[in-house]
Structure formats: structure tokens, C-alpha cells
Amino acid sequence: MKFTDDSSPHLPSDMKNKVVLIGILFSFGFVLNPQPRIVTEKFFPDVQANFKSPAFHKKHGFTKYHEMMEYLNKLKSEHSDIMQITFIGKSQKGKLIPMVILKSETPKIPHPVKVWLQGGLHGDEPASTEGLLNVLESIVLNPVLLQRLEIAFVPMANIDGYEKQIRYAANGLDLNRDQTKLMAQESVYLKQVFSDYHAEVAVDFHEFRPYRRDFAHYNRAGITSRFDVMFLYSGNLNVPEKLRYYTNDTFVGNARKALDTHGLNYHDYVTTDDYYGDIHFTQGSVQSRSSATSYALTNCVSSLIEVRGVGLGRTSFTRRVFCTFQVAMSYLNSAYDRVDELRDVLLLSRKDKSEIVLKSTRKVSEEKLKVIDLDTYEETEIAVTLRDGFQSKAQLKRRRPVAYAFDTTIKQNKILVQKLRVLGASLGPTDKEMKCTAEYFIPTSVVKHGALFEQIHRTDIETKTETKQITLPKGTMILYMDQPKSNLVAEVLEPEAPNSFISYSLLEAEINKPLSWFRIIEF
């Protein structure tokens, strides 16, 4: 089977009609499985597992919202001592978004480790939701982990997308590109609850598309991914180095071992990008608009887990849910086994006062990648140019301020302050005049992108800073940087950072006109 666009002119006309028909079916959201049976049988045979969530009681489709709610309510009625269901807000179509908290009334340690498990942020990645429902059930049946853990589950984060099995929220936004600009109402609810929960470990479950259009350019008949699971953890340089390495070595490391014991294949997350007309593979994540980095910047162990599945319908579904289940259980066991070590790392990371990195570049190298050849149906390797986010280098840095200050008589700043609170920042007005050394951002270049990204025209900005001794009037809104989520704050307030409020054009900047918030270097 070929996936190239240029293959169709060589096809006989009845085949061409079929290709057109397949295209039409795809555009109406019909699920056509692109995976030949031989690939499934040879590389991804289903596994034996005794999953009981709603999708496993039927042959077609996945767990519907109302089926999930019935399932959760039944579990809760049987285990109300350890299970609570709350609703964190409404989807755009008005469905209540459930969050389940599992916690013991008599934990064995005074402050159980808080873990956040999320699925279904992209609505067409059903193994994430299904996997979490089964993790939840398995823990309520055997709650030993709750002796040291408290676990929050958001199994279906994007209900409207899930009900239609599409990636996006009802207004067309990708909720995993919306973690700093917060334009979808689901993003605001999810982020507020995440911020208030103060997770120490956060895992966001997804599935990836194993048949990508540009994979058709490799070998004679194209390739497909060899991996059951890909791990996406942050390479963002504002995530303290100790936390980045601990996440990889310990939590991802243990999950790799767990997959090894079941003969499942994994890799660090890689995807393809068009790079000036060439296909490059990017590895890892550095962008705070996505969950893995956004959560890590709030000072927790964070990963996004990608399971091989988008576009496969029910093919290998038990295997995909099994992968989700195994990785989730591994993260929970790592947290359970290493409470003190985890907290030491988080405490040290919180004390890290490194300079703020505004721009970084990925390490580029030539590598080999394991794939499945779609002509021979053999495992093989291809040569790729890899741009690795986990090995990023700082390009532009700025010293860390002691605080940021806002004049809230400016209307736009009120909206910013609101968003910052949703992101978990605490800030408030001064109760007296204060002398300080302030640094103002003066834009030296402002370029608006012509093309839309997630429904906005982004801004590229460069600034210089201007230092002044000033007296802050009483009532000035101050955000002190000595707080747990300060690295996320820097990512949105430093204008050059790629996912900042200015980069996402939440505020318009003008050349030579100081921005409406500023840095405080010293009081």
C-alpha cells in the first residue's frame, strides 16, 4: 500500500476513484484502518488482558461519555471511602468534565504524593481514556498505592472531541497547543484545577499516528512506526536540569523497564517536520504550550505518553490500552517507591535560580531510526536527521528578576493577571509605596506572522531592557518569583519566549513603546 500523493496518477481509473472515495470517507471522519493485517499479526498482536471498562463490552467504537459516567458512578457507589467524583467545568457543548480523586482516609504517610493522570485531551486517542479507566478500577479494587499516593484522574479531558472521535475541541482548537494562551474554556478549567492540585507527578496520555503522510517518502513503499510507546518529557531549559534528568532516568527509566518485561517497543518521542523542504525528525518537547513542558515548569515530574494508535480504529486496541495501563502503573509505582527522593529533587529544583532561557536550539545529528518497511514487512532502519529537544542549548538568556509588576489601571493587564492566576501564579497589590530597581521591556522589533496558528497571528518580538530607579505606587500588582510555578510565569511574561503572552498576541506590542508590565531586579 502506498501513501504518497504522487502515486495516484499511476493508478488505473477505478483505483483512482477508490482513492478519492477513501479521501472523502476520511474527511467525514469514517475510521478506515490503514494497517495491513500482516503488520498487526507480525508486530502488534493483541495481548491477553482482563479489561472491564465499557469499550471492552462491545465490538465497535469506544467508551461514550454517558457510559464512562455510569461506569464511574458504579465504581464510586462501591468504593465511596476512597473515591470522589467532582466536575471541573463544562465542555463547550455543555458536558460536565469529571475528575476522580482516589485517596485513603488512613494513608501511611502524612502527606501522600499527589499524582495527576490525564487522558483524552485529543479526542481521537481512545486508548488514553480507556487505559486510565482501567488503572482507576484496578486501584479501587486493590488500593495499596493509596497508602502513599493521592491520585487525580481526568480520563476524558476533551469530551466534545471524544464524542466525535476528533482531535480538536468544539471550536477547532487543539487543547495541547493551548496551555499558555488558554483560549478554549476547557483549557481554563483544566489548568485552574491542575494549578490548585499542586501535582508532584503529572502524566498526560495520548496516542500517535503511526502512518504519517511523509513516511511514504521512505523506502520503496513507505514505512510505519515500530514503537508501541513513545515518551515525551521536557527538554525546556527553564525546567531545572536536575528535574529533567530525574524524570528521564527514574520515571521514564522504570517505565522503559516495565515495557521491556512485556516485550513492548518504545522510543523517545519523535515526529516529522518539513524543514526547508527536507523531512527532519524532531525528538522531545520544549514548548510550554503543550502539557509535558507546561506541567514540568510548575515543578513536577511530568511526561506525555504516546501510544501507537491514531487512525487504527479498534485494531490492537487491547494492546494499546495495555501499554497505557503499564506505563501509568509504572509511574505510580515509581512515585510510591521513592517518596523522599522525589521530594528532595522537587525541593532542589524549586531552589534553582538559573538565568531564564528565552530562546534555545535543538541539537542536530544524523541518527538511525527503527521502522517497519511496508514493502517487505520487515523491521529495518532508516537514516534520519534528528533535532533533539532534550539536548537543547540556550541561545538567549536574561537574568531572573525578583518579581514582575503590573499597572492594573491598564485594562489589558487585568486579563493577564487573570490568566496568570489560572496558570497557578499568586500575585497581589502592594499595601504601601515601594522603592525598587525596575527593568522595562522596550520592543526593538515586532513582526506579526501572516499565517494563522491555532486561530491567531503570532508575534515575533525582540526587546531591549531599560533600567530605572522608581517608586511603585501603593496598589501596584506584584508577582514575586519565589513561588513554585515561577518558571511557567517566566515563560509567559518574558516577551521573546516562544509561547509567551506577546508571542501569542494576547497583547499587541509596538516598537519603542514599553510593555505594560516590567521586571523588578531589586527592592
Of 93-101, 202-210, 212-220, 398-406, which segment contacts Zn ion by CB under 5 A? 202-210
Q: Which is nearer to Zn ion, 104 or 271 (CB)?
A: 271
Q: Which is nearer to Zn ion, 209 or 485 (CB)?
A: 209
Q: Which is nearer to Zn ion, 206 or 244 (CB)?
A: 206
Quick one: which of 311, 265, 332 has its CA closest to 167?
A: 311
First to last CA, the chain: 67
Q: How many CA atoms lie within 13 A of 452 on its CB side?
A: 5
Q: Which is nearer to Zn ion, 122 or 256 (CB)?
A: 122
Q: Least distance (Å) from Zn ion to the CB of residue 143?
A: 30
By CB under 5 A, tell whether 362 contacts Zn ion: no
Query: What is the distance between the alpha carbons of residues 431 and 411, in angstroms, rounded to a whole number?
Result: 21
Q: Which is nearer to Zn ion, 207 or 439 (CB)?
A: 207
Query: What is the distance between the alpha carbons of residues 91 and 239, in angstroms, rounded to a whole number?
Result: 31
**CB atoms inside a 10 Å sphere around CB 382:** 15
Q: Least distance (Å) from Zn ion to the CB of residue 308?
A: 12
Q: Least distance (Å) from Zn ion to the CB of residue 233?
A: 15
Q: Pull the grid cell for residue 308.
A: 501507537
Write b or e for each residue in 71-83: b if 16 or more Cβ atoms lie within 10 A of its Cβ, otherwise e. bbeebeeebeebb
- Strands 428-429 vs 403-406: parallel, antiparallel or unpaired: unpaired
Q: Least distance (Å) from Zn ion to the CB of residue 269?
A: 11
Q: Least distance (Å) from Zn ion to the CB of residue 279?
A: 21
Of 199-207, 356-364, 378-386, 412-420, which segment contacts Zn ion by CB under 5 A? 199-207
By CB under 5 A, tell whether 320 contacts Zn ion: no
Q: Which is nearer to Zn ion, 122 or 387 (CB)?
A: 122
Amino acid (1-letter code) at residue 75: L
Q: Which is nearer to Zn ion, 285 or 330 (CB)?
A: 285
**Which residue's Cβ lies closest to Zn ion?**
206
Of 121-129, 343-351, 355-363, 473-481, which segment contacts Zn ion by CB under 5 A? 121-129
The dihedral through the CA atoms of 466, 471, 474, 479 has a sign that is positive
Quick one: which of 430, 388, 165, 362 has its CA closest to 270?
A: 388
> 502 to 521, contacts with Zn ion by CB under 5 A?
none
Q: Least distance (Å) from Zn ion to the CB of residue 235?
A: 18
Task: Give 404's strand partners.
Answer: 479, 519
Q: Least distance (Å) from Zn ion to the CB of residue 416?
A: 28
Q: Least distance (Å) from Zn ion to the CB of residue 270?
A: 14
Q: Which is nearer to Zn ion, 122 or 319 (CB)?
A: 122
Q: Which is nearer to Zn ion, 125 or 200 (CB)?
A: 125
Query: What is the distance between the alpha carbons of residues 332 and 113, in angstroms, rounded to a whole number?
Result: 10
Q: Least distance (Å) from Zn ion to the CB of residue 158?
A: 10
Of 103-111, 119-127, 323-331, 491-499, which segment contacts Zn ion by CB under 5 A? 119-127
**CB atoms inside a 10 Å sphere around CB 12:** 8
In terms of C-beta density within 10 A (0-12 exposed, 13-18 middle, 19 or more buried), how is residue 505 classed?
middle
Query: What is the distance between the alpha carbons of residues 413 and 428, in angstroms, rounded to a whole number?
Result: 13
Residues 6+ apart with CB under 8 A from 522: 402, 436, 437
Of 120-128, 182-190, 261-269, 462-470, which segment contacts Zn ion by CB under 5 A? 120-128
- Our measurement of the distance from residue 163's CA atom to the centroid of its chain's CA atoms, rounded to an integer in Å, reads 21
Measure Cα distances from 7 to 116, 217, 237, 278, 447 in Å: 45, 11, 43, 19, 39
Q: Least distance (Å) from Zn ion to the CB of residue 251?
A: 19
Site map (CB under 5 A) of Zn ion, residues 395-414, x = contact: --------------------
Cell 510505519 locates to 224
Q: Least distance (Å) from Zn ion to the CB of residue 435?
A: 49
Name the DSSP letter for residue 28. T
By CB under 5 A, tell whether 122 contacts Zn ion: yes
Q: Least distance (Å) from Zn ion to the CB of residue 125?
A: 5
In terms of C-beta density within 10 A (0-12 exposed, 13-18 middle, 19 or more buried), how is residue 298 classed?
buried
With CB under 5 A, what is the number of residues at the site for Zn ion?
3
Residues 6+ apart with CB under 8 A from 369: 267, 270, 281, 381, 382, 384, 386
Of 78-86, 106-114, 123-131, 416-424, which segment contacts Zn ion by CB under 5 A? 123-131
Q: Which is nearer to Zn ion, 125 or 160 (CB)?
A: 125
Of 6-14, 125-133, 325-333, 422-430, which segment contacts Zn ion by CB under 5 A? 125-133
Q: Which is nearer to Zn ion, 121 or 490 (CB)?
A: 121
Query: What is the distance between the alpha carbons of residues 312 and 209, in angstroms, rounded to a whole number?
Result: 8
Q: Least distance (Å) from Zn ion to the CB of residue 135?
A: 18
Q: Which is nearer to Zn ion, 181 or 206 (CB)?
A: 206
Quick one: which of 129, 139, 154, 131 has its CA closest to 82?
A: 139
Q: Least distance (Å) from Zn ion to the CB of residue 211?
A: 15
Provide the 3-class DSSP secondary structure of residue 454.
Answer: coil
Q: Which is nearer to Zn ion, 213 or 353 (CB)?
A: 213
By CB under 5 A, tell whether 387 contacts Zn ion: no
Length of the chain (residues): 523
By CB under 5 A, tell whether 206 contacts Zn ion: yes
Where along the sequence are the contacts to Zn ion (CB under 5 A)? 122, 125, 206
